[in-house]
Structure 1
Amino acid sequence: MIIGLTGGIGSGKSTVALAFAELGAAWVDADDVAREIVAPGEPALAAIAERHGRGVLKADGSLDRAALRERIFADPAERKWLEEETHPRVRERLVEHLKRLEAGPAPYVLLVSPLLFESGQDALIERCLVVDVPEATQRARTLARDGVSPEQVEAIMAAQLSRRQRLSRGCDVVDNGGDRAFMRAQAGALDACYRLLARA
């Protein structure tokens, strides 16, 4: 069974995924795969460099993600181009990872993705788990973690589904706005349910 785990920026998706991994789940992170497909030598990186020039590359030839993010969130047309260029490649690579993990010993697999619905990756899953925090918490965590401007945070949040939209499309919810013990207790209860569903 493949369960999509999603949430807005700064919601703590990776922290929640790690809690499930400690309980025995396997997981793949779409953000990690998105980095894989723009590594040096990958066709997507060549396409990005051709469109935006060397200003989006670091001295070693790798992608300068901060520079690219600044450009694409300032221009909706460029964000759309980037999504059309990268989303199919990410999906293809995700399918490879998911097949490998499904063949392993884990009782179920998590597909962790901030853009689960926006990118159509929900077609790969059987259930959806939403990691939920208040929007003010998203903003504060992202500003503290990523070193971006408040305007960039707002642009990123605007490009994602709203909190209400995510919650309306989720099967299950983990409230990650409290302490870690509270989150782990929720993960433990859901883990038990997922194991039952996977065996059904």
Structure 2
Amino acid sequence: MAKIIGLTGGIASGKSTIAAYFQSKGAAVLSADDLARTLAEPGGELYQKYVAHFGQGILLPEGTLDRRAIGNIVFSDEQQRRWLDETSHPVLQAAMVEQIQAARQKNFPVIILDVPLLFEAGWDKMTEVSCLVFVDAAVQLERLIKRNGYTKAEALGRIAAQMPLAEKKQRADSLIDNNGSLAESYNQADKLWKEWTHAGLS
């Protein structure tokens, strides 16, 4: 039976790059972000809940959700962020369980749950092993501003909303240091892949 690995990392840590690499090696990669996007499309379960709660002001002219507007609300208001998490996580978790069951039917050697808030949302309980992709704080901030076009304040707000990196490192079973070159990161991933596909996991 496929081993279930929880892959996580701070925002802009390069987690998606590592997830794609594991996928190229034969893993099934199930992305919580992709699930959230699907469920937040017009007519989706999360879309309806968000519009009912936040109002029409979070919609773009074409009727889709303005993700940046929602982000600015929830990352500046702890109560709103708690509401978002408590509303979205059960919906996403149920959808993820369905995806895991579907992936199990296809005989993948490894099923990777790509979940940014793996520890924060308690999704690590769904996995056998957790793996953290990390970068230094300065690298993370620079990448996030460059990638998303955020102001420094917006970027810092999103980083602060996540569990501190030091705590994630303590909780993770495996680490991938993504501060160096891609080749160095892939080399670490190769070692873990060998461990996951050949060693028995208790």
TM-score interval for Structure 1 and Structure 2 normalised by the shorter chain: over 0.9
> Tell me, what secondary structure is at the counterpart of 1:181?
helix
What one-letter code is carried by the residue in structure 2 that aligns with 1:103? Q
Corresponding residue pairs, total: 200
Shift of 1:197: 3.2
- Counterpart residue number, 2:21: 19
Structure 1 runs (4+) deviating above 4 angstroms are none
Rounded Cα–Cα distance in structure 2 between residues aligned with 1:191 and 1:53 = 45
Q: What RMSD, in angstroms, separates the aligned Cα atoms of the two structures?
A: 1.4
Write the mapping of 1:99-138 to structure 2, written as runs, cut at 5 A.
99-138=101-140
- Counterpart residue number, 2:52: 50
Shift of 1:105: 2.6
- Counterpart residue number, 1:80: 82
> Tell me, what secondary structure is at the counterpart of 2:120?
coil
> Tell me, what secondary structure is at the counterpart of 1:6?
strand
Rounded Cα–Cα distance in structure 2 between residues aligned with 1:110 and 1:180 = 20
> Tell me, what secondary structure is at the counterpart of 2:42?
coil
Shift of 1:44: 2.0
Write the mapping of 1:18-37 to structure 2, written as runs, cut at 5 A.
18-37=20-39
- Counterpart residue number, 2:152: 150
Rounded Cα–Cα distance in structure 2 between residues aligned with 1:147 and 1:131 = 22
**Which 5+ residue runs of structure 1 have no aligned equivalent?**
none
Match of 2:66 among 64, 67, 87: 64
Rounded Cα–Cα distance in structure 1 between residues aligned with 2:105 and 2:92 = 20
Identity %: 35
Rounded Cα–Cα distance in structure 2 between residues aligned with 1:103 and 1:175 = 32
> Tell me, what secondary structure is at the counterpart of 1:114?
coil
> Tell me, what secondary structure is at the counterpart of 1:145?
helix
**Which 5+ residue runs of structure 2 have no aligned equivalent?**
none
Shift of 1:39: 1.3
Shift of 1:198: 5.6
What one-letter code is carried by the residue in structure 1 that aligns with 2:109? P
- CA deviation map 1:83-126 (0-9, x unaligned): 11111101111111111112213211110111001111111100
> Tell me, what secondary structure is at the counterpart of 1:104?
coil
Rounded Cα–Cα distance in structure 1 between residues aligned with 2:181 and 2:52 = 45
> Tell me, what secondary structure is at the counterpart of 2:199?
helix
8 Å Cα contact 2:5-2:112 kept in structure 1: yes
8 Å Cα contact 1:102-1:108 kept in structure 2: no
The normalised TM-score by structure 2 is 0.95
8 Å Cα contact 2:120-2:163 kept in structure 1: yes
Shift of 1:199: 8.1
